[in-house]
Amino acid sequence: MINPTYLAQRTRSSANWQDARKRVLKSYREWVRAAPEIQQMYSLNMPVSAVRTKMRQEFERHRYVQQLQTVDVLLFNAHSEYQETMNYWKQLTHVLKYFRAEEDPKAALPKSFVQGFLEGRN
């Protein structure tokens, strides 16, 4: 049976930076604790440690956000992703998009057109 309200939360704003920090840590812990289940549910061909590392990288990407409202939006997005992932509303390709080499900033565009052409990238 599908329960669309499983893991649902009410949208709310952080009262201050300490509240936002608590909410971010709670969200991060939820993701990290769910890593083994995510790896098993989606039959990911990688160790749980790699999944947790990617989760950490996604949270670290927004570490230095300076606006409280932006943090609230990021928290909302993180929780909606979590809910969709844990309810198995995503397909394998949606989960694997986080592990593509193109998502890595170090694997950015080639230095020149010819180099990209020779690599077979567009």
Residue indicated by tokens 């969709």 = 84
User: What is the reported pLDDT for 115?
Assistant: 77
Domain boundaries, the chain: 17-119
Per-residue confidence band for 47, with pLDDT thresholds at 50, 70 and 90: very high
pTM across the whole model: 0.77
Predicted confidence band of residue 91 (pLDDT cuts 50, 70, 90):
very high
Given a cut of 60, is residue 104 above it in pLDDT?
no
State the Cα angle at 34 between 30 and 40, rounded to 5°: 170
State the distance between the two ends of the chain, measured CA to CA, in whole angstroms. Answer: 44
**CB count in 10 Å sphere of residue 24:** 19
Least confident of 2-6, 63-67, 86-90, 103-107: 103-107
pLDDT of residue 112: 80
Position 24 pLDDT exceeds 80: yes
Mean pLDDT of 84-100: 90
Question: According to the model, what pLDDT value does residue 111 have?
Answer: 76
Longest CA–CA span in the chain (Å) reads 54
Let me know: does 95 contact 39? Beta carbons within 8 Å: no
Buried b (16+ CB within 10 A) or exposed e, 49-87: eebbeebeeebeeeeeeeeeeebbebbeebbebbbebbe
Tell me which of 120 and 92 has the higher pLDDT: 92
